[in-house]
Chain A
C-alpha cells in the first residue's frame, strides 16, 4: 500500500511533521497484553474494591436499583453501541426512534411538555438549566435552595462563574430539612429558584409553593431530581408548576460504575423549546408519507450557531439514554409504581427502626422518599467504618464528607434491592 501511494516507508507518512517534533522512541506505556493477561490484571484490581461487594445503604446521587437483564442485552447489540450520532436518518432510525421514545418517557415522568435527547448527567443538566433560565428571563440572579446535592452546587458554581450570574443560597430548615427563606431572596431581578426534591437530606420539598412564589415575580422554577425513581411516586414537578426539570437518570437501569457514565434528563415547557441545550429528535415524513425521526431544531446548536449556541454540548449520553428507555419500557407503568412504592415502604420501616435505637435519631421531620439523615450518638465515620469491617455493610454516607460541622450524621438510602433481612442487619449493627 505504501508503494501504491508513492512512499517507501511508514516514516514518510509523517513528513509534514517537523523532524524535531517526531518521537524517536517508543511511548513509555506498557507492552501489549494478551486477553488472558489483561483480564487477569483488571480482575485483580477489581478485588481491591471491597465496596462493590457489600450490602449497601449508600445513595446521595447514585442509587442501586434492580436492573432487568434485558437492558444490558439490548444496549450490547452492536447496531446500537457501535453506531455514531444519527446524522444520516435513513440508516439510523433505530437510534432516532429510541431517543424519541426516551424524550416522551422523560416528559411523562416529569410532567413536562418537551425533553431533549440527554445531557452528560444530572449535575451538568442542572448547570445548563441555570444558564437557560438566564437566557429566557434575561435576568441574572439565581437562588439555589440549600439542600441541593453539594457536588451539583459545585458544578453550577463552575459553569456560571463567567456568565455574570449571581448565585445566592437559601438555607435548609434545621428542623424540617426542607428549604426555608428562598422567598425572602426573590425580587424582580431573579431569573430562577433552583430546588432539589427529594433534597440531599432526603426530604420532599413543597415544589408547588416555590413555583407560585417564583412565578409571582416573573422568575422560573428549576427542579432537580437526583433520585429519578421518586418521579414514579411523587407528584410530578410539571404538575407542581416547574418551568425546567432536570434529573439524574442513573436510577433507571444504569449500573453504579463508580460514578459514570450516567445520563442527564432535561425537560421544559413547549414555549422554551428553542432555548433547550443539546440534541432534539422530532418526527418527520418522507415523500411517500412514511413516518420517521430526525435530529431537529439544529439552529440552536454549536455546529451552526457557534458561539451563540444554546450550549456547547455535542456528544451526549446516547447509549445510556437507550438503557433508560429499555428500563422504563420493561418496568412499565406498574413496575415503576411498584419499585417506587417499595422504596418508600422499606425506607419508612428502616427509619422507624433506627429512630427507636437508643442514642440514635432521625432529625428531619420533612416527608421522605427513600433517603433520610440519621444522627448517631458518636462519630458517624467511625461507626460506618466499624459496620463495614465487622458486618460487611456500607451503612450510608457520612455527612462530614460535605459538611464538617455534622460529624455525627449520616445519610441512609433504602431501595427495593434491600431486603428486610438486610435492613435488620443494619439496625443490629448500629445497635451493637
Chain B
C-alpha cells in the first residue's frame, strides 16, 4: 500500500529534490522592465565568436513559488543557533542579534559602492574607524586592519607582517636565516597553512602533561637563531589559559622572534585581559565568533588584524585614518605587505560587530565573558563523573573531554556526537585538538542559560549510561534524523561534485 502513494509535495520530513530536477522548460520566476532603448541585433554589439552558444542549457527554469518552497524545505533540515545550544569548541556559536542584521541592511550602507569618493562615504568610513578604535582598546594593540575576510585570512596577514618586519629589520641576508615559525601541537590547522604562505617552515612545540606550552622545548627550539616567530592560541585549544604567557613572549623576543596570537578564543578574554598587555605583537580576531556576526553556514567572516605600534607600518593598505574630523583612505605606508583583498573588507560584518559592541557596552562585554567562562566551568563540573577529562586545570570558555571510558564498550567520540543529535543538540567539536585522542571540545558560550546547560549535561549522562548498557544504540546513532550516517569514504573515492543531466551522468 505504501508504495502506491504518490505524494503531491515533499513534506518537511522527506528529502527535497535538487532544483535541477524540478526545472520545467519555459517556467520563470522574475520580471524585468521592458528594454527601453532601441534594440540592436546582439551580434552588432558583441561579435558572434564571443557570444555564448549553449543557450545556458541546464540552468533551472522555475517559478518564484518553486524557489521559496525549495529553500524553505531545505532550511528545515538545518540545525541552527536559534533552535538551541551549538557547543562547537573554538567556534563560539553565540546568539546573533536581529538588531545587528537590521543595521547592516540600512540602505545608506547596503547600497553604498566601495569605490565611492571619501566625501560621499564619510559615515561608512567612520564606522570602520570607530570599530578599529574599539578593537584596539579591547586587544591593547593599536594598529588595526579590518581588511582580512576571515580568521585564516587575518592569520596570513599577521604572519606576513612578521615576515615583512623581520625582512626590514635584518636585511635580506639576516632574514633568510629566520624562516622558522613555531606552532604548538594543539594549534588550529590554519596556523601552519598560513605560515607556509609566508614562506616559513614549521616546527612543532610540545604541550606538557598539564596541557600548556612546554617552556623547555620552546627554549630549545628558540636557541637555534632561526626563529621568526611563534603562533599561539590563548586560551589554547584545550581551553586553558597559558599562564606563562609573559615568559613565553620573553623567550621568543629574546630569540629575535615575534609572537602571533590566534584570537579564535578571544571570547574568554574580552574585558578581562588584553593580548597587548601580555607581550603579544600581533593577533587576528574572528568577528564571526567573539563579536557575534552570524556564521551563515560557513561564512562570511571578518578577521581583523591587530598589532603593536612597531608593526603598524606593515599593515595592509589602504589604512582608514582620521584627520581634522575627516575620514580618508591612506596609502602612504611604503613598508606595507600590500593589499590582501579588493576594497575594504567584509564591511557588512563590521557594521554588525560595532552594533554588538555598542549594545553590550563596556560592562556588558565583560559580563558576556564571565558568563561564557562560567558556563564552560559548569559543564566541566557536570560531566567529570561520566567522561574522562584529560587536563585537570579549570577551563576558561571551553573544555575538553575524551571517549576513553566509553571506548571499552566500543563507543567512540563520533558515536557520542551522533547520539547527541538524537537528544536535540548539535554535537561539540570532535577529534580536535589533534593531540587529545578522541577529543570532545565543548564551548557553550554565554548564550545559554542554566536550564539548557542542565539539559545538555543530562543528555551526556544518558549517553554515557547507554554506552555501558546498550552500546549499539549509540554506535548506530543518529536514529531519528531524516538521513543516516553518510558514507563519506565512498564520497571521497569517487567524488560527485555537481549535478548533471541523467544521460551525461551515465557516460561520465
Interface residue total, chain A, C-beta cutoff 8 A: 196
Candidates B35, B243, B496; contact of A18 at CB < 8 Å: B243
- Neighbouring A residues of B426 by C-beta, 8 Å: 84, 88, 91
* Residue interface mask B444-482, A partner, CB < 8 A = 1: 000000100000000000000000000000000010011
Q: Is the CB of A51 within 8 A of B112?
A: yes
Given contacts A29-B361, A158-B160, A318-B299, contact A281 B497 (CB under 8 A): yes
Given contacts A82-B81, A101-B18, contact A33 B61 (CB under 8 A): no
Q: Is the CB of A38 within 8 A of B243?
A: no
Q: Is the CB of B483 within 8 A of A292?
A: yes
Q: Is the CB of B299 within 8 A of A101?
A: no
Q: Once the chains are docked, how many angstroms separate the CA of A327 from the CA of B107?
A: 20
Minimal beta-carbon separation of B52 from chain A (angstroms) = 5
Q: Is the CB of B373 within 8 A of A13?
A: yes
Candidates A38, A44, A60; contact of B359 at CB < 8 Å: A38
Q: Once the chains are docked, how many angstroms separate the CA of A236 from the CA of B114?
A: 27
Asked if B174 is an interface residue, CB under 8 A from chain A, the answer is no
Asked if A346 is an interface residue, CB under 8 A from chain B, the answer is yes
Candidates A32, A92, A280; contact of B497 at CB < 8 Å: A280
Name the residue in B38, B56, B286, B341 with the highest tally of chain A Cβ atoms < 10 Å from its Cβ: B341
Asked if B221 is an interface residue, CB under 8 A from chain A, the answer is no
- Neighbouring A residues of B51 by C-beta, 8 Å: 233-235
Candidates A91, A157, A315, A335; contact of B298 at CB < 8 Å: A315
CB within 8 Å of B: which of A33-86? Answer: 33, 35, 38-39, 41-54, 56, 58, 60-62, 64, 66, 68, 70, 72-86
Candidates A66, A95, A330; contact of B32 at CB < 8 Å: A66
* Residue interface mask A299-312, B partner, CB < 8 A = 1: 10111111111011
Q: Once the chains are docked, how many angstroms separate the CA of A111 from the CA of B114?
A: 29
Candidates A42, A44, A48, A286; contact of B355 at CB < 8 Å: A42
Q: Once the chains are docked, how many angstroms separate the CA of A337 from the CA of B28?
A: 12
Q: Is the CB of B342 within 8 A of A78?
A: no
Asked if B383 is an interface residue, CB under 8 A from chain A, the answer is no
Given contacts A332-B30, A367-B46, contact A39 B111 (CB under 8 A): no
Asked if B495 is an interface residue, CB under 8 A from chain A, the answer is yes
Q: Once the chains are docked, how many angstroms separate the CA of A7 from the CA of B377?
A: 10
Candidates B19, B56, B77, B299; contact of A337 at CB < 8 Å: B56
Q: Is the CB of A124 within 8 A of B111?
A: no
* Residue interface mask A146-161, B partner, CB < 8 A = 1: 0001011011011101
Asked if A172 is an interface residue, CB under 8 A from chain B, the answer is no
Candidates B49, B78, B450; contact of A1 at CB < 8 Å: B450
Q: Once the chains are docked, how many angstroms separate the CA of A23 from the CA of B270?
A: 10
Asked if B190 is an interface residue, CB under 8 A from chain A, the answer is yes
Given contacts A162-B199, A239-B54, A315-B151, contact A261 B28 (CB under 8 A): no
Q: Is the CB of B67 within 8 A of A258?
A: no
Q: Once the chains are docked, how many angstroms separate the CA of A16 from the CA of B485?
A: 40
Minimal beta-carbon separation of B404 from chain A (angstroms) = 22
Q: Is the CB of B108 within 8 A of A232?
A: no
Q: Is the CB of A91 within 8 A of B56?
A: no
Minimal beta-carbon separation of B468 from chain A (angstroms) = 24
Q: Is the CB of B30 within 8 A of A322?
A: no
Minimal beta-carbon separation of A352 from chain B (angstroms) = 9
Asked if A247 is an interface residue, CB under 8 A from chain B, the answer is no
Q: Which of A115-123, A188-196, A210-218, A356-364 contacts B (4 or more CB under 8 A)?
A: A115-123
Q: Is the CB of A38 within 8 A of B288?
A: no
Q: Once the chains are docked, how many angstroms separate the CA of A296 from the CA of B19?
A: 21
- Neighbouring B residues of A271 by C-beta, 8 Å: none
Interface residue total, chain B, C-beta cutoff 8 A: 189
Minimal beta-carbon separation of B304 from chain A (angstroms) = 13
- Neighbouring B residues of A48 by C-beta, 8 Å: 108, 122-123, 126
Q: A32 — nearest CB in chain B belongs to which residue?
A: B361
- Neighbouring B residues of A68 by C-beta, 8 Å: 29-30, 64
- Neighbouring A residues of B72 by C-beta, 8 Å: 74, 77
Asked if B255 is an interface residue, CB under 8 A from chain A, the answer is no
Q: Is the CB of A155 within 8 A of B341?
A: yes
Q: A54 — nearest CB in chain B belongs to which residue?
A: B120
Given contacts A234-B51, A259-B114, A307-B202, contact A348 B298 (CB under 8 A): no
- Neighbouring B residues of A234 by C-beta, 8 Å: 46, 50-52
Asked if B232 is an interface residue, CB under 8 A from chain A, the answer is no
Asked if A432 is an interface residue, CB under 8 A from chain B, the answer is no
- Neighbouring A residues of B251 by C-beta, 8 Å: none
CB within 8 Å of A: which of B80-127? Answer: 80-83, 86, 88, 91, 93, 96, 99, 101-117, 120-124, 126-127
Q: B153 — nearest CB in chain A belongs to which residue?
A: A120
Given contacts A30-B361, A82-B82, A92-B79, contact A159 B197 (CB under 8 A): yes
- Neighbouring A residues of B266 by C-beta, 8 Å: none
- Neighbouring B residues of A70 by C-beta, 8 Å: 64, 67-68
Q: Which of B1-9, B305-313, B362-370, B405-413 contacts A (4 or more CB under 8 A)?
A: B362-370
Given contacts A100-B498, A204-B46, contact A10 B359 (CB under 8 A): no
Given contacts A77-B72, A335-B30, contact A367 B108 (CB under 8 A): no
CB within 8 Å of A: which of B346-405? Answer: 346-349, 351, 355, 357-366, 370, 373-374, 377-378, 380-381, 393-394, 396
Candidates A4, A31, A49, A315; contact of B361 at CB < 8 Å: A31
Minimal beta-carbon separation of B191 from chain A (angstroms) = 8
Q: Is the CB of A13 within 8 A of B370?
A: yes
Q: Is the CB of A88 within 8 A of B79?
A: yes
Q: Is the CB of A316 within 8 A of B109?
A: no
- Neighbouring B residues of A319 by C-beta, 8 Å: 294, 296-300
Q: Which of A135-143, A179-187, A415-423 contacts B (4 or more CB under 8 A)?
A: A415-423
Given contacts A108-B56, A286-B486, contact A98 B46 (CB under 8 A): no
Q: Is the CB of A303 within 8 A of B189?
A: yes
- Neighbouring B residues of A114 by C-beta, 8 Å: 497-498
Q: Is the CB of B359 within 8 A of A33?
A: yes
* Residue interface mask B291-303, A partner, CB < 8 A = 1: 0001111111110
Q: Is the CB of B60 within 8 A of A329?
A: yes
**4 shortest interchain CB distances as A-B pairs:** A46-B108, A32-B361, A319-B296, A259-B343
What are 13 inter-chain pairs, A to B, with CB distance below 8 A?
A4-B378, A26-B362, A30-B362, A52-B111, A84-B86, A158-B340, A234-B52, A280-B497, A282-B496, A287-B484, A314-B152, A317-B298, A344-B46
Known: A80-B78, A113-B498, A233-B51; 15 extra A-B contacts, CB below 8 A, are A23-B271, A32-B364, A52-B111, A79-B82, A94-B74, A97-B77, A154-B339, A259-B342, A259-B345, A286-B486, A303-B188, A312-B197, A344-B45, A416-B32, A420-B36
